[in-house]
Structure 1
Amino acid sequence: SFSDDPLRMMRAARFMSALQLQPVPELVDAVRAMHERLTIISAERVRNELDRLMVTDHPSLGLWFLVDTGLAEHFFPELPAMKLEQDPIHRHKDVLTHTFAVVENVRRDAAPQFDFRITRLAALFHDIGKPKTRAFADGKGVTFHHHEVVGARMAKKRLLAMRYSTQDVEAITELVALHLRFHTYQMGWSDSAVRRYVRDAGPLLTELNVLTRCDCTTRNEKKALMLSKRMDELEERIAELAKSEELAALRPEMDGAQVMEHLSLSPGRQVGAALNFLMDIRLDEGELGAEEIRNRLDVWWAAQQK
């Protein structure tokens, strides 16, 4: 029974997702009556069940069950909190419905090689910051400014409470923090923009691209096609630049030791500032060669002494 082993309520959610089943009213009523028993189960065991649910073919079925029965309140209260309208004027999906649609959009064949589980979890958490950042702006309707920043902090706190590994927490929160980065490049993909996007995504580049594509749940076919084409353009630009540059290992053309030797510096903030300057050049202009980069560094250093 659920009383003897409350984790069975979580397993019921997983079976719904795996087998595409709808819960009968008697099951829903039973879980609603017993959901508080889940509090006696360790965070690790609950997390493991959530992970198993998240990699099923249709996780939204089980996720709705967790929310509707009150189970989610005990280990992921931010989830039911997302039951709010994104834009009541234009009747957009509420945040939770959109979130579950994004989770469903993340399929195993979305890319040749990517971390499916991590990307699914990032989709589940990506808009967690919207309830706390929701505001109304004159002429703009509902806004969620900086929800990705707030959401990353909230996701980290919740994931740690669920006892996720440090590696998982870092990956998921980074994807939450970056999930809007694609949309900041409205004017096309310059070499500099591509380098910065790749640098920011780091080893999560494929996962971020998958999440970005899956975050488009609009019914407006014209808008969806436009977003898809822009994403295609970005991936093409990344491939083009990768042929001529080592994008996976973007770094300044001089390292700290070379900077200290060239400028006769000891370790300290000045070396860090110089490396940041050189990194900006690398991102904006690509590789310039040893002589040119030393000349640029000399000019920068002279300006710092004034």
Structure 2
Amino acid sequence: MTSRAQPDRVTSSDEQLRRTELLAGAVVALRELSGVITPLAQRFADRGHSLYLVGGSVRDAVLGRLGNDLDFTTDARPEVIVEVLGGWADAVWDTGIDFGTVSAAKADQQIEITTFRADVYDRVSRNPTVTFGDTLEGDLIRRDFRINAMAVRLGADGGQEFCDPLDGLGDVLAGVIDTPASPADSFNDDPLRMLRGIRFVSQLGFTLSERTLAAITEMAGEIDRITAERVRMELDKLICGEHPIEAVELLVRTGLAERVMPEIPAMQLTIDEHHQHKDVYQHSLTVLRQAIDLEEDGPDVVLRWAALLHDIGKPATRRHEPAGGVSFHHHEVVGAKMARKRLRALKYPKAMVDDIAQLVYLHLRFHGYGDGKWTDSAVRRYVTDAGELLPRLNKLVRADCTTRNRRRARRLQENYDDLERRIAQLQEAEDLSRVRPDLDGNAIMEILGLPPGPEVGQAWKFLKDLRLDAGPMSREEAQAALLDWWAQR
């Protein structure tokens, strides 16, 4: 891979060696995709146009983490891109064509090709006046960060030329996130870039440059121009990154959290009842970290949000007790309502809102277990209330143990081990995941001589509660209990 001239920069021999190693790694990564990118470059060349791999795809190739989403840029106009892809791609989508973007699928690669852009922003919304550009350099300088402003020119013969006029590779080497132009100009154009910068901290483990950090802190209020849906997408990518703790701390430090999820910084005001952490906020970060350690199949966005938000009800329920100390009675109830309200405001899907709120609501239930003193009925209700969330609730409860008292921590974990054993035993005997009354609605109507209506539902609930308390019953036992309950009404 040849390299186009970069800005004047004094580099040590070690840094130059590292640059060479990173570019060599990128060559290997792109060579594996030659069956896709070389024929595509040939098709553009046949039409007299250049094609560049660009942005996050180049960054990830350099870092050795290139996935199956490929971003390209070209001097060809959108209608030409559609023609070039026709007959070659497995599928083509032109839903973004008004913005110069055409998407396609080829083999197992998702492809997005955008015409050079030279947009102008109105600085009221984040919507640019789309203007097509004529140069690669002009396209790169309008991008969000220098680490995303690198490109590789793809030759029809398979050749590759690394183009880095803004020295994004230098930022990659330094592990720094900085803007091509001044941060203030960049964020005024598109305030979502502030969240994106912190999201890259989470995903890449990089740090914000001093001027970028200062600009985000000063301009945090500009995020109010961004729609809830776009904010939500960035927050989910941030919480699912490899370094979400650092990213959440930056959200709070810069003031962005106060604008998009104020319940998080609000926890800094509340010292936990055991005085084991600086505040509930730090405790929640620890729980998030420990929940991540318990994940088995990659990032679990529901578990991670539940871990971070599980104690957001504490500030509102904080009470100073007469004998000293602090209590937070019913903070799980208040917290579940708060989580539901915030997630709805951010336009989260209903199912996800319900799951996170339910985990927040249930996270304290285990602490009544007390050395195996729950009845089988209490265990059944715990499992039934958790439903499909039980595996996540198990992880959340274990992660919520942050005491520095080793003896207490060991006892809590042993108690939860015991609860899981009891759940497994009852599950094997009774199939707790399918707990139902021993009589269905039709049987209830037949036995009591009722038409469909609310009384049938009341009888069903009685039998369901009876099933949870007493375990499985025969039909005769259930019928006798139902008739006795009906007679006493």
The match for 1:288 is 473
The match for 1:84 is 269
The match for 1:53 is 238
Matched, 1:18 2:200: no
Amino acid at match of 2:311: D
The match for 2:161 is none
The match for 1:158 is 342
**Normalising to structure 2: TM-score of the pair?**
0.59
Q: Is the 8 A contact 2:272 2:280 kept in 1?
A: no
**Cα distance per residue 1:183-209 (max 9 Å; x no partner):** 122252432121110110011111111
Supply the distance in 2 between the matched residues of 1:205 and 1:89 (Cα, whole angstroms). Answer: 27
Q: Is the 8 A contact 1:115 1:207 kept in 2?
A: no
Higher helix share: 1
Q: 1:5 Cα shift?
A: 2.1
Supply the distance in 2 between the matched residues of 1:138 and 1:257 (Cα, whole angstroms). Answer: 55
Supply the distance in 2 between the matched residues of 1:179 and 1:31 (Cα, whole angstroms). Answer: 34
Ranges in structure 1 where 5+ consecutive residues have no aligned partner: none
The match for 2:318 is 134
Q: 1:178 Cα shift?
A: 0.9
Supply the distance in 1 between the matched residues of 2:360 and 2:375 (Cα, whole angstroms). Answer: 24
Supply the distance in 2 between the matched residues of 1:248 and 1:91 (Cα, whole angstroms). Answer: 37
Matched, 1:186 2:370: yes
Matched, 1:118 2:118: no
Q: Is the 8 A contact 1:51 1:117 kept in 2?
A: yes
Q: 1:217 Cα shift?
A: 1.4
Alignment of 1:253-272 (within 5 A): 253-272=438-457
**Cα distance per residue 1:107-139 (max 9 Å; x no partner):** 2x6255698110001112111111111111112
Supply the distance in 2 between the matched residues of 1:299 and 1:67 (Cα, whole angstroms). Answer: 59
Q: 1:65 Cα shift?
A: 0.5
Look up the SS of the partner of 1:3 in the other structure.
helix
**Cα distance per residue 1:198-229 (max 9 Å; x no partner):** 11001111111111111111221111111111
Supply the distance in 2 between the matched residues of 1:99 and 1:24 (Cα, whole angstroms). Answer: 27
Supply the distance in 1 between the matched residues of 2:278 and 2:398 (Cα, whole angstroms). Answer: 17
Q: Is the 8 A contact 2:264 2:312 kept in 1?
A: yes
Sort the Cα spacing of 1:248 and 1:115 in 2 relative to 1 into closer, same or farther, 3 A: farther
Supply the distance in 2 between the matched residues of 1:229 and 1:57 (Cα, whole angstroms). Answer: 30
Higher strand share: 2
Sort the Cα spacing of 1:88 and 1:122 in 2 relative to 1 into closer, same or farther, 3 A: closer
Sort the Cα spacing of 1:232 and 1:162 in 2 relative to 1 into closer, same or farther, 3 A: same
Q: Is the 8 A contact 1:114 1:206 kept in 2?
A: no
Matched, 1:251 2:445: no
**Normalising to structure 1: TM-score of the pair?**
0.93
Q: 1:237 Cα shift?
A: 1.1
The match for 2:329 is 145
The match for 2:81 is none
Q: 1:275 aligns with which of 450, 460, 467?
A: 460
The match for 1:168 is 352
Q: 1:263 Cα shift?
A: 1.0
Supply the distance in 2 between the matched residues of 1:5 and 1:120 (Cα, whole angstroms). Answer: 28
Q: Is the 8 A contact 1:103 1:123 kept in 2?
A: yes
Look up the SS of the partner of 2:418 in the other structure.
helix
Matched, 1:205 2:390: yes
Structure 1 residue runs of 4+, over 6 Å off?
none
Q: Is the 8 A contact 1:58 1:104 kept in 2?
A: no
Supply the distance in 1 between the matched residues of 2:300 and 2:400 (Cα, whole angstroms). Answer: 15
The match for 2:221 is 36
Sort the Cα spacing of 1:112 and 1:294 in 2 relative to 1 into closer, same or farther, 3 A: farther
**Cα distance per residue 1:252-285 (max 9 Å; x no partner):** 1011211111011223333222222211221111
Supply the distance in 2 between the matched residues of 1:294 and 1:156 (Cα, whole angstroms). Answer: 40
Amino acid at match of 1:279: K
User: Which structure has the higher relative contact order (CA within 8 Å, separation 6+)?
Assistant: 1
Q: 1:152 Cα shift?
A: 1.0
Sort the Cα spacing of 1:103 and 1:91 in 2 relative to 1 into closer, same or farther, 3 A: closer
Q: Is the 8 A contact 1:10 1:49 kept in 2?
A: yes
Look up the SS of the partner of 2:312 in the other structure.
coil
Q: 1:292 Cα shift?
A: 1.2
Q: Is the 8 A contact 2:239 2:301 kept in 1?
A: yes
Supply the distance in 2 between the matched residues of 1:27 and 1:211 (Cα, whole angstroms). Answer: 35
Q: Is the 8 A contact 1:114 1:207 kept in 2?
A: no
Supply the distance in 1 between the matched residues of 2:475 and 2:339 (Cα, whole angstroms). Answer: 43
Matched, 1:230 2:400: no
**Cα distance per residue 1:128-168 (max 9 Å; x no partner):** 11111111111251111111111111111110111101111
Q: 1:10 Cα shift?
A: 1.1
Supply the distance in 1 between the matched residues of 2:433 and 2:297 (Cα, whole angstroms). Answer: 15
Q: Is the 8 A contact 1:151 1:177 kept in 2?
A: yes
The match for 2:174 is none
Greater Cα radius of gyration, structure 1 or 2: 2
Supply the distance in 1 between the matched residues of 2:399 and 2:249 (Cα, whole angstroms). Answer: 19
Supply the distance in 2 between the matched residues of 1:88 and 1:193 (Cα, whole angstroms). Answer: 26
